[in-house]
Structures are given as C-alpha cells and as structure tokens.
Structure 1
Amino acid sequence: MLNQALQAFGQGDLAGAEALLIRLWQQQPASAVAALQGQVLRAAGRWADAIAWFERALEADPSDARPLIAMGQIQRQRGDQQAAQGCFEQVVLQAGLALAFAPDQPLRLLELGLAYAELEQPADAIAALEAALTADPQLVEAHRSLATLLHQQGRLGEAAEHQAALARLEPHALGPRIEAALALHRGGDAEGGLRQLEALLGEAPQDSHLREAFLFAASTAGAAWLERRRAVGLAHWQSLGYGIDAAVSAGLPATPRSPLRVGLLTAELGNHPVAHFLESLLRHHNRTRLQLELIETQPRWEERNRSLRALAHHALLLPQADLAARRALIRERGYQVIVETSGFTTASGLPLLAERLAPVQCHWVGFHASTHLPTLDWFIADAALLPPELEPQFSERIWRLPRPWAAYTPPHDLPQAASVPAAEPLVFGSCNQVAKLGPETLAYWAAALRAVPQAQLLVKHRHTADPQVRARITGALEAAGVDPARVRFEGWAAHWADHMAAYNRIDLALDATPWSSATTAFEALAMGTPLVAIRGNTFAGRMSTAVLAGFGEPGWIAHTPEAFAAIARELTADLPALRAGRAERQRRALAGPLFDGADLARALGEALEGMAGEASGSFS
C-alpha cells in the first residue's frame, strides 16, 4: 500500500495518497508512512497538518532527522526564519553527536549535509555529503544533493559526475539523463545538450518534463531549431489534451470592469533577475485602473519576496497540489487578465493556463520564445525586439509596447560609475551566463579581440569556476588566434553591489548570440559601460538589440563578426574619452526609458486594458 501511495503522490493524486496513508497508518504506524503523509500534506499547502505528521514520524523513529529538515523547510515557507533555523541547527547537533561516536554513518552524514545546505553553508554541506558517499557510494539522495550544490558553486564538471552516478544507479529514470543534457547546455554546449535531449525524446516522447526541458533549451539555440521546437511545443500541449479548441473562452466573463483585475502568475518573486522588471510594474502601476494581484507558483523566503508582495493588492501562494486544485484557486479570484512570466523555466505556472483561467492570458518579460500554448493569447514585446518578420515564429499574437518592453528597477545600492586609472589596460568583458558563450559567441569575441590586440577579456560568471568551462572558452579563442593569456575569469561576487561594481573595471561589454544579453545589458548600461550588441533572428537573439534601441545607440548593434569588431575598435579608439564618459552614460541610462518604471507601468497597463477591451469588443 505504501508503494500505491507513492505512485498516487507522484501522479499528483494527493487526496488518494492521503487516504491510502491514513489506512496504512492505522494498520502499521511506521515512520516512513508518517513522513510520506507529511510530504503529501505539504504539497497540498496544509502546512500545520504536515508538521503534525512529520512530528509523528520523528516519534516513530527519532534516529531519522529528515522529517525535522522538512519541518524547517515548511517554517521557512511560512516566513518563520527563526523556527526554520532552529530545526536545521537541531539536525546538525543531533547528527554531530551521532557521528562523534561512529563517524562513518552515511545516513547521519547525509542529514548533516542536507541541514548545512539549508543553513547556506555550502562548503560544510559538500564535505558532509562527500563523506556520506565515501561511506556508501550508492546513496542516491547524496548524489542528487551534491549535483545541485556543485552546480550552484559553478563546479559543473563535478556536478556532472554525480549526475552520471545517478544515471547508473537509476538506469530507468529519465531525470538524471535530462539533467546531464541540461548540464551541457549550461556549460555552453547548447548543440550537444539539444542533441542529447532530442535522442531522449526518441526514447520517451510522452515524458512532459523532458519536452519542457527541450523547449527551454531550444528557445536559446537560434533559428536552426525553430521548426523542431514548434513541432515539440504543439505535440506537448496536444499530448496533455490541450489542442487548439482549448483557446475557447469556456464561458468566462469577458466584460472588463474598472479597475481591471490582473493576475501576475510568477515563479520569480525574490532574488531573481526577472524580479527587477516585475518591480517596475508592481511599484508604479495605476491602482485606480489596475487591481494587480500576485499568483506565486513556489514559495520564496527572501526578504525581497516580502517587499514585492507588499506592492500588490493581493498575493496568492499556490500549494503544490494537483493542477485542478490550483486552477480552482485562481478561478476564484475572477481575473480578467493573467500575465504569465516564466515560460518553460523552473516552477513555471504555464501548464495552469492550458485551461483558460481568464478571458485574456498573455506572457511578459520572463521567457524568450513562443510557448505554442493555444490558450496564451498575447506575447508582449516591442518593435525592436519582435519586428513583423519574426511574428511567424510565434503562435501567440504580438502586442508591441510603444517603448522598450521592460524597465529595470535597480536596488538602492547601485554603485556610482567610476573610471579605472588611465594606466590600466583596456578590458572587454562579459557577465553573461556561461550557457550563452557557445561557438558563435566566441567567434564574434575573437574577431573583436583580433581587431583590438591590446584588449584583455574578463569573463565573469559563477560557472567559470569549472576548469572545463575555462578550457573550452580559452581553447576556442586560441584556435581563432587569441592568446589565452589575454583572458581571465571571475566568479560571482557575494553581494549584488559588488557584482555591479565590477563593471567599473570593464571598458566595453560584449554581447552573446544566439541567446543575447538581457539583464546583463541593462546592468552594463546602468554602470555606464557601453555594450556591443549582436542582432539575432529570434526573440532570444534580439533582447540586447531592443535594449540598445531603448538607450538610443543603434550604432552599437552588429549582425556580423566583422561589424562587431569594427564597432569595438571604434568605441575604444580613444580610451581616455571612453572612460571619462562613464558617469555621463550612467546618468543618461538611468534617466531614460530602460529604467523608467513609471513609464513602463503606464504603457503595460494600457496594453492590458487594450487586450481586455479587444476580448470583450469594447472597454470603457
């Protein structure tokens, strides 16, 4: 019966799993039964009940501290950081005492590692989990947690080793093989990752998680994958039972009322780059015309989450229940428009919209390609980002704002732009994620570095901690005639302000392709650092183009390596003047539309009203 409950839980049948576990508990009150019941109730959003069952699990088996870790995670979801900290510290204490008497207990070492991870002590967590695997190399949970932690630390090669171990230990499981393919994508080998995902699709075309992984990876890979992506996207929704007929309004009220009730369906409301753009709308929307509510698809416990929630009329945190229950909660709110911000990214609410939950459903800001979802009506962009010739790439209709499609709200501690001493060498730089730095990007960079032979290159991202990533980048540049001694790498800074201050050491920011700069383009200009952009032929490849159009510098946009190199050479020809203009460029950027949250909120509010009006035939 426990296996039946596990199967029901895995299929999203929370009520069925709960009923089975209650019967099983009455017959055999074991720790494993209570712990699974706690997970089921936690997924349903019934946190108090979940904690009660985790407490029963601890009573049944005090030696297993994992229910205590789960209780701490729930307390964090509730916003009670002190209680959460207490749970994790208790696990560390208990595991430490047990290990003092017998140091080679793999489960105690696993618990210690999991608790250290929750306490944000990654070095201690990694050490404990590695010790657990030394004691038991087949401990699946330790491999999985280590893969996650090492990825977060930028150690992609080591993370891949644990993904490979998971694939060996779970040969019939798709998850580790999907993660191995995505690891290639994150490391900058988009083609290799996509080929692996394509092969897996041949084996398991029915797996929705696999299709979503492919759709995300292909969204960044340029025009060559457009047709395959479209086919997989359409098949994805049809296989889930949502064909073109799903786009019908399903009897929802279509008459707009004022203020317009808008639901912002998001997974990014915290320390996430997209939150900088969401804040512009939340902080500046016209409350007499828009009733803006948040629909959060996952709990986040950052302080930024609480501060952004306070800017909305209402915030709904969806429980991790089945789709029907989550949809019912959204329908109860009576939204006239739902704005989705995640696409095929982590914790996305996109599948919820496969059934129509509002007369108008649209996407804005968080994704960079068509979702191919029949019930998504609009994709919000601007003229530079999505010109008419790119419209056939989308199943959604395109609503173009009369200004840049996004506005960045930087935190209050944005550093002042400052020039480095005149004697310092010229520096090209990129803070783009390594996934964007594939062969096409490096060919553009090599052209610029050959054209400006005195320039050094700074590549700043946490994944450059991985030696294989560094070797791939320097190897490609060396093959293109660039001395590897000109290239240096930096990881992420501990604080956002320190990360931003690094732009003061970069004279010229370099774009990427076919997945162009977005957040990093805004950030470079916010620090007065000019950006040489690459104009691609997809939404993902046009984001930097749209940013520079909004900044008023279309002359900094290239579409060939030769043009890219020529712009870089021209901009750096007078290095003292370039550096002297940094503060003025920062002032100009921050005063312009790219950072004008009020103007963005006005334009976006008018767009949402227009969509609602079109859906009903009129709006007053």
Structure 2
Amino acid sequence: MTSFARAAAAENAGNLEEARTRYLDILRTEPQNPAALHRLGMVELRLGRPREAVILFQKSLAIAKDLEVYLDFGAAMAAMARWDAATTVYAAALRVAADSVDAQYGLALALHRQGRPQDAEPHYRKVLATHSHLGEVHNNLGVALQDLGRVAEAAAAHREAARLDPADAVAWSRLGVALHRLGRNAEAEAAFRKATGFAPLDAENWHNLTALLDAAGRPAEALAAGRRAVALDPSGARNWLALGNAAHAAERREEAWRAASAAIRLAPSDPAARNNLANALRELGRPQDAVAEYRAALDLQPDFAVAETNLALLLSSQRDAEGALAVLRALLARQPENGEAWRRLGGVLAEAFRPDAAVAVLRNAVAIAPGEPDGHTDLAMAAAMAGWSRVSADACRRVLRLVPDHAAALGQLVHQQRLLCDWRDLDGLEALLLHRVRAGAEGVSPFDVLSCASTLADQKSAASRWAAAKARGVTPVVRTAAAARDGRLRIGYLSADFREHAMGHLMVDALETHDRSRFAVTAYSTGIDDVSALRQRFQRGIERFVDLRRHTDADAARAIAADGIDILVDLTGFTTFSRTSILAARPAPVQVNWLGYPGTLGADYVDYIVADPTVIAPGEEGFFAERVVRLPDCYQPNDRRRAIAEATPTRAECGLPAEGFVFCCFNSAHKLTPVQFDGWSRILAAVPGSVLWLYAGAPQVAANLCREGEARGLDPGRLVFAKPVPHAEHLARHRLADLFLDTLPYNAHTTASDALWAGLPVLTLQGTTFAGRVAAGLLRAAGLPELIADGQEAYEAAAMGLARSPDRLRELRQRLARNRPICPLFDTPRFTRNLEAAYRAMWEIHRTGGAPRPITISADDGPDTATQEEGKVP
C-alpha cells in the first residue's frame, strides 16, 4: 500500500489526525502533489480549520485545475455561507468542465443565496436540461421563480417536483405557498395538507396551513393548525405570530395576547410582533398599553405603515383626533400614494365631525385605489354626513358595481336618492333592499329602511342585526352603588342633539320641567357644541350637563355607571352620530329608547320604548324588542317657549304668488315619494291657482321635483322652494301657508309640531309603522283628529275640499289657536308628569326584581298611576 493510500484509508476511517500526519509527510517529500494538497484540505476542513483548508485548495488548484477540487472547494465555501467565494469557485469549475452538472447546480445555489435569483435561474435550467428527474432542482427553481414574482411558473416547478416524488413534503409545501399567492386557495390547502400528511412533525407545514386558513376566514381551523405549529416548534417566533393572528380572528383575545407576548420574548426586535401584541392589547381593552406597543414597533421600524395606521385608528377611537391626524399625515408625507392611509385619514376626520374635509381626503383615496370598495364606502358615508347627497349616491353606485351584494351601500343609495328626490329606478332599488333585509343581510342601517314601504317586521329585523353588530366586542361595565343617595330617581339622557336640532327643540322644555325634588336629571352629550342659544339653554336648564363627546364609548359608559344612573334614556337611536355601543355596555340597570328614533332598536340591552296608543297600536308589541310604555296623549313633547318671529315675510319674499291657495310640506326631502307626488299633482290640478311650497335643502332637489312635476303635466312654476332660515323665522313663514300636506310612509314629526305650533293645520295619512303614525298622534293630542285621512283617496279629497272651503279651514285654524294653550300636545308640564310616572313604574318593576314588562300610563287615573300586565304600581 502506497503512502497516499494509507493516508486516504485513515481519512475514510475517520482517523483525521493520522490522515493529516500522513498527508503532511507526503507533502514534505512532494510539496507540489495536488492530490495530497486537496485531501489535506478536506481533512483540515473536517477538523474545523477552514482557513487552512482554503489555502490548501488554492495551492492544489494552482498546480492542477481539477474539477473535484473545485467542487469540494465550492462546497466548503457554501458550508461557511461564503456565497460570493462559492460563486467564484463554481464559475471557475465550469470553465474547466462546462458540462459539469454539479458545478452548474452549485453555482445556481450560490447565486440564489446571494439574492440573485435572476442569475441563478439559467443554471437551474441547465441542470434540468440533462437531469430532469431531480426534484430538488425543480423545487429550488420554483423558489427562484417565486422570488422573481413569476408565481405561476413557480407553481409548475413545484408541481413537477411533487410529481417526481409524491411523498416530497417540501415540494407540496412550496407548491401550496405558490398556489396561495395565486389565490387558488382550495388547491393550496390540498397541497399543505399533503405536506402535513407526509411530514406531520414539520412545524413549517403547519405554519403555512395556519396562514392559509386564517386568510380564508376559517379562524377555528387556523387556530388548531397554529397550536400544532407552536407545539412542534415553540422556539419559532413566526409560529407564535401566526397563532396570534388566528386567535385574533377567532376573537380568542387572551390567547392572541399570550401568543403575541411569546413572539415578543423570542423576537424582541421584530416590529411585526410588537404590532400584533398591540392589536391584542387593544382588543383586551388596554388602549394605553396598545399605544405603547405600536410606538415601540415604530421605533424599531419607523416606516411601518401598518403599525402607523393601527396607531392612528386606536388614537381616533380614543377620541384623540389630533394625535391620529398627526400620525396619518406623517405617513402620507412619506407615502403620498398610500390609498389606505388616505382612507383612514378620511375616517378620522369624519369621526371628528369634519365631514367636508373627510370628503376631500377620501377623493384622494378612491383616485389612488379606484377598485377598492372600502374607499368608496367611506366616501359615501362622509359625503352623506356633509349633506352632499349626489356625491354620496355616486359613491354608493361605485361600491355596488364593485360588490353587487353590498347591502349597506344599497340602503344608503336608496336613502340618498330619496334625499335628492331622484326617483329614477328607485322602486327597483327599494324592492331589492327589502328583499335583502328579509333575507338577513348584514350592515343595512335601520334608518334607511324606515322611509321604504317596509313593515314592522322588516324594521325589527334590520334593527336587531344592527344592534347586535354595535354590541359585538363590547364589555359590560361594572356598576357599583353610588356612595350617597338623596332619595331621587337618577335619570340620564344620552343624545348627540343637545343643540340647534329638531330633537333639541322638541325635548328641551320637558327636560327643564322635571320635578327636581323627585328626579335628578343628567344630560350626557355626545354631539358637537354648536354654541347656539338652544345649546346654552340645555346647559343652563338641566341639573347636570356632561359633555362626553371626547370620551370613548367604553369610557362614556363607565362615567354614566359611576354616576349611579338608574334609568338611561337614549334620545338618538340609529340616527346620525348615535353611540349605540354605550348602551350595549349596560351602564344603567334600566335603559329606554325614546323620541330620537321612531322604531325599535332591536336590542336586548334596551328595556323599554316610550310610545303612545297611536304610534304603537295594541297587538303590535311583538314587533318591538323593547317593552312598550304608552303615555296617555302623545309620546312627543314640545317646547312652550319655542319662539315665532313677530314679522311675517311677504309672499313675494318667499317666492309665493300674490294670490292662490298655498299647500306646503316642509318635511325632509327623503320623506317624499313618487306616490305622494302623484297625489299632490292631482290636488294642484284640482285647485286652480294653488301652489305647493316645499323645503329643498339642495339645488338638485328642486331640479328633480320640477322634472317630476313636468312628467305629471304640472307647471314647474306651481312648485315653490323654501330656503333655510333661522328657526323662529321658519315658524313665522308658516303663516303664509294654508294647509300642510303630510307624507307617508314616513310622517312629519317635528315639522308637524312646528306647523301646529305656528297655527297651520296639518293633513295626514295614518300609516302602518311608528314613523307613519306620528302626525296622527300629534293631531289627536292637538284636538284635530278629523285631519287624519283614511287612505290616499280620502286624503286627496280632504285637501281639495279644504282648499275650496275657506270657512271650514278658518274654523280649523281658530280651533287650533284655542287649543294651543290647553291641549295635551303643548302642555309640557302634563307631558313631563306622565313621563315621570312611566319612569317610576319602570323603576318599581326593577326594584322589586321583575323583568321589564309593558306599561300604560292612564290619563283618567292621573299621571302618578301606571297600569301594567300585573296591576297597578304607584
């Protein structure tokens, strides 16, 4: 046996020190022996002396350009992650042996590891040209193609690898990744499940499956896969991150927090982990801790747009609009084409009661991402808040083109077209909306359903789903007994409308008139301070006035609970700027729906609805989630101090003709319907020289109504449009009208009270829902029940008859003038005593441990008596 053979035998036997000694002995006598230099280099490498190995490889190659030396040298550089050196070595090998498959593959891997997939690709393909049976090479080619964004080609490469070896879990896993990126989720899931089947102990496969299931909206399955991944590899931060995402989607808040915390412990410098922990803390109701984690994420990665957006949204939800705006504006200064940031900025501005600015910002969002429905949805909402109905309607149409089954956009489109009196295709849209409501569609605002030809069942259905959504994720507050009680019942009124607003005008006198010896009254304002005289009157006239506008819903609920409120009365319902989630937190033991919303709130967290015998008829209680409380006269209060300007404008100043009968309807335009307008056109045709005086808040309303009039053969000159004026002046101009014509299915409410207070008779139709019966209740309480028509034909006949019977109309005016000081409609002290009797009855039921039940306040027995299902309660 030669000396070289003995050295090689020792090397092969693993006797490395002996082999090293023998190779050195050879080199002492043959210093230029390339084979000995090569093998000694391999021994030094195995002994952990890579520097010495590199020198020996280089010496060997300087003597003889041997392919095997190049391949071992390249492999040694790759093992040390010296990818640049490996690239140089493998390239040199190919100059020696251009057909070397090993050199081609080694060079491909080295280039790929350097982040040069475009350079690696041709070398992978050269290997496969002669060795297409190598599944590993197909897999690596697939990874390179994914890196290059050529995902469909990557999927084909991985699929070929899986075909060559159907048990190759790596191939199935990588195929799943590619298919997921292509949006072929069902195929991707099948591939991932193949991978987990062939390699059930590989955490990577379970991690991939978790991410897929989470993205597919299957949180329970994602949670199970994520738990398996962390069980197999608890040291992998990305597994905990995936589990946290799945737990977050499954609303497993504590588990999401624990997973995110584990990811932070393993990867404290990972900004994504910090962001996820912040998300979990936010969901756990720990907003200050969440803010700190978002800021920590941004300290680690200042250009982390997702964390910036999340931070801004949290600050906005905490009523820190300025902080949120600052974060988003800084983001947009860096990324002016970030459509999501523009959209979020618009949302913050809208939440801050700055809808005009929100509209301008959201126009940028939809210009950048015209195919994203959320931007158009937000634009529609902000434009509606700003009173720009045409812009809102256009945005809704865009949403529906992108997402045809978007029920919320459909409801808003119907409402905005009503506000514009744009009745083209409205019947079909309304029918579709009601069909969606009856099919259980989520997201339809109940208010949008009120003006449609909806039933009480429709209205309850929409309200119940809306109320449930508002309660989702809300944590009930813990109520504690107040430290000191003075024997009075504590009533809290929650409203966004303690200001110059229709509801404000209705309720101010009643709230001022409460018996302070028996009731402690607090107004909780969630709306803007418009610095109006009416706002100041509320602040002066109510015992306690608390501004909650900058409180979060949770903080507002805690504040109300801390005040020891016994009965919380919501005066806003589902109208603009409502804060229903405050009610969902149950800050008071008894909660009441009254005045602001003419229908059920559909919520199990609201106990009673205040009504009267007209607006909710006996036998209809099942259509209301609340227990019905019937006041004896009318559920609506009025203000005895409502000022009417002394000076009456001239007909010319109001655009009215010098002569002729003046019909008027000052209802909001959304209450007008094509059927109603048909009837009004017939009335005008039957009363020569008459005009119809309407309120048009937007120029488009007048234009659309004139067009509709012409279509019905009506001279547009017989339609007169009233401009906005201060409230006292608005009441004064009622003196120029002869008869107020009401609407259906949504009656005049405050506008009817205004007309009657100003001495103008109101002719109404009684509908089948709360919103369509209010005017009838007002007329009965005013002593004018004969002005309630029974059907459309009777309504039109009554209008024509009154226009032709000045004596009859004069008698109605005179009776209204006599009744005004004494009738129940305008007797606020009487109304308030009845309301207080209702509150006492509610509280007595609660105090004695009973469940809420219907209550009727009897006028015959006096306001201190309430009739219930189980008898009398003082």
TM range (shorter): 0.7 to 0.9
Is 1:527 the counterpart of 2:772? The answer is no
Letter in 2 for 1:18: V
Instruction: Compute the TM-score of the two structures, normalised by the length of structure 2.
Output: 0.54
Which of 225, 231, 240 in structure 1 is aligned with 2:455? 225
**1:541-556 to 2 correspondences below 5 Å:** 541-556=772-787
Deviation per residue, 1:148-175 (Å, 9 max, x gap) = 7865786633442244456678999876
Give the whole-Å Cα distance in 2 for the aligned partners of 1:463 and 1:411. 30
1:431 matched residue in structure 2: 666
1:474 matched residue in structure 2: 709
Cα gap change, 1:149 to 1:499, in 2 (>3 Å): farther
1:82 matched residue in structure 2: none
Check conservation: 1:417, 1:504, Cα contact below 8 A.
no
Is 1:40 the counterpart of 2:314? The answer is yes
Q: Deviation at 1:57?
A: 7.7
1:572 matched residue in structure 2: 803
Q: Which deviates the most, 521-530 or 496-505?
A: 496-505
Give the whole-Å Cα distance in 1 for the aligned partners of 2:513 and 2:403. 49
1:395 matched residue in structure 2: 625
Check conservation: 1:185, 1:191, Cα contact below 8 A.
no
**1:397-476 to 2 correspondences below 5 Å:** 397-409=627-639, 413-416=643-646, 424-463=659-698, 465-466=700-701, 469-470=704-705, 473-474=708-709
Q: Which deviates the most, 489-498 or 541-550?
A: 489-498
Check conservation: 1:390, 1:538, Cα contact below 8 A.
no
Q: Deviation at 1:453?
A: 3.9
Check conservation: 1:186, 1:434, Cα contact below 8 A.
yes
Three-state SS of the structure 1 residue aligned to 2:541 is coil
Residue ranges of structure 2 left out of the alignment (5+ in a row): 1-271, 337-341, 652-656, 850-872
Instruction: Compute the TM-score of the two structures, normalised by the length of structure 1.
Output: 0.73
Cα gap change, 1:398 to 1:417, in 2 (>3 Å): farther
Give the whole-Å Cα distance in 1 for the aligned partners of 2:325 and 2:685. 62
Q: Deviation at 1:353?
A: 2.8
Q: Which deviates the most, 160-169 or 289-298?
A: 160-169
2:515 matched residue in structure 1: 286
Is 1:496 the counterpart of 2:727? The answer is yes
Q: Deviation at 1:515?
A: 0.8
Identity %: 24
Cα gap change, 1:54 to 1:161, in 2 (>3 Å): closer
Check conservation: 1:509, 1:532, Cα contact below 8 A.
yes
Q: Which deviates the most, 269-278 or 493-502?
A: 493-502
Which of 770, 783, 795 in structure 2 is aligned with 1:539? 770
Q: Which deviates the most, 450-459 or 193-202?
A: 193-202
Give the whole-Å Cα distance in 1 for the aligned partners of 2:318 and 2:649. 53
Give the whole-Å Cα distance in 1 for the aligned partners of 2:314 and 2:629. 41
Give the whole-Å Cα distance in 2 for the aligned partners of 1:541 and 1:355. 31
Residue ranges of structure 1 left out of the alignment (5+ in a row): 66-106
Which of 141, 156, 164 in structure 1 is aligned with 2:389? 156
Q: Which deviates the most, 8-17 or 191-200?
A: 8-17
Is 1:313 the counterpart of 2:586? The answer is no
Q: Deviation at 1:521?
A: 0.5
Deviation per residue, 1:481-536 (Å, 9 max, x gap) = x5244631425414223333332332111011111111110111122111111111
Cα gap change, 1:154 to 1:335, in 2 (>3 Å): closer
Letter in 1 for 2:638: Y
Give the whole-Å Cα distance in 2 for the aligned partners of 1:411 and 1:309. 16
Cα gap change, 1:135 to 1:540, in 2 (>3 Å): closer
Three-state SS of the structure 2 residue aligned to 1:365 is coil
Cα gap change, 1:143 to 1:497, in 2 (>3 Å): farther
Deviation per residue, 1:279-315 (Å, 9 max, x gap) = 0222111111111112233444443334313333333
Deviation per residue, 1:229-257 (Å, 9 max, x gap) = 33444455567779xxx9x9999879x97
Give the whole-Å Cα distance in 1 for the aligned partners of 2:289 and 2:428. 41
Is 1:25 the counterpart of 2:25? The answer is no
Check conservation: 2:693, 2:722, Cα contact below 8 A.
no
Cα gap change, 1:595 to 1:464, in 2 (>3 Å): farther
Give the whole-Å Cα distance in 1 for the aligned partners of 2:537 and 2:626. 32
Three-state SS of the structure 2 residue aligned to 1:546 is helix
Give the whole-Å Cα distance in 1 for the aligned partners of 2:284 and 2:709. 46
Three-state SS of the structure 2 residue aligned to 1:334 is coil
Give the whole-Å Cα distance in 1 for the aligned partners of 2:409 and 2:465. 23
Is 1:296 the counterpart of 2:525? The answer is yes
**1:5-16 to 2 correspondences below 5 Å:** 14-15=287-288
Give the whole-Å Cα distance in 1 for the aligned partners of 2:366 and 2:497. 37
Three-state SS of the structure 1 residue aligned to 2:523 is strand
Q: Deviation at 1:183?
A: 1.8
Deviation per residue, 1:112-144 (Å, 9 max, x gap) = xx99x9899x7xx89988997999796999978
Cα gap change, 1:57 to 1:369, in 2 (>3 Å): closer
CA RMSD of aligned residues (A): 4.8
Q: Deviation at 1:401?
A: 1.5
Give the whole-Å Cα distance in 1 for the aligned partners of 2:363 and 2:461. 45
Give the whole-Å Cα distance in 2 for the aligned partners of 1:278 and 1:535. 24
Q: Which deviates the most, 538-547 or 446-455?
A: 446-455
1:267 matched residue in structure 2: 496
Check conservation: 2:451, 2:670, Cα contact below 8 A.
no
2:253 matched residue in structure 1: none
Give the whole-Å Cα distance in 2 for the aligned partners of 1:145 and 1:615. 42
Deviation per residue, 1:189-242 (Å, 9 max, x gap) = 67555445457669994x4xx14x1x22223435x5333333444455567779
**Number of residue pairs matched by the alignment:** 553
Q: Which has the larger radius of gyration?
A: 2
**1:327-342 to 2 correspondences below 5 Å:** 327-342=557-572
Three-state SS of the structure 1 residue aligned to 2:820 is helix
Higher relative contact order (CA 8 A, sep 6+): 1
Three-state SS of the structure 1 residue aligned to 2:577 is coil
Letter in 2 for 1:533: T
Three-state SS of the structure 2 residue aligned to 1:345 is coil
Letter in 2 for 1:488: L
Is 1:507 the counterpart of 2:738? The answer is yes
Q: Which deviates the most, 335-344 or 463-472?
A: 463-472
Check conservation: 1:434, 1:464, Cα contact below 8 A.
no
Is 1:370 the counterpart of 2:600? The answer is yes
Q: Which deviates the most, 412-421 or 269-278?
A: 412-421
Cα gap change, 1:308 to 1:417, in 2 (>3 Å): same
Letter in 1 for 2:691: Q
Give the whole-Å Cα distance in 2 for the aligned partners of 1:554 and 1:580. 14
1:183 matched residue in structure 2: 416
Letter in 1 for 2:704: V
Give the whole-Å Cα distance in 2 for the aligned partners of 1:419 and 1:573. 25
Q: Which deviates the most, 457-466 or 556-565?
A: 457-466
Check conservation: 1:447, 1:562, Cα contact below 8 A.
no
Q: Deviation at 1:319?
A: 5.8
Q: Deviation at 1:373?
A: 1.7
Q: Deviation at 1:5?
A: 9.2
Letter in 1 for 2:315: L
Give the whole-Å Cα distance in 1 for the aligned partners of 2:611 and 2:284. 35
Cα gap change, 1:192 to 1:334, in 2 (>3 Å): farther
Three-state SS of the structure 2 residue aligned to 1:565 is helix
2:611 matched residue in structure 1: 381
Q: Deviation at 1:555?
A: 0.8
1:349 matched residue in structure 2: 579
Which of 578, 585, 596 in structure 1 is aligned with 2:827? 596
Letter in 1 for 2:417: L
Give the whole-Å Cα distance in 2 for the aligned partners of 1:142 and 1:398. 40
Deviation per residue, 1:85-118 (Å, 9 max, x gap) = xxxxxxxxxxxxxxxxxxxxxx9xx99xx99x98
Q: Deviation at 1:432?
A: 0.8
1:563 matched residue in structure 2: 794
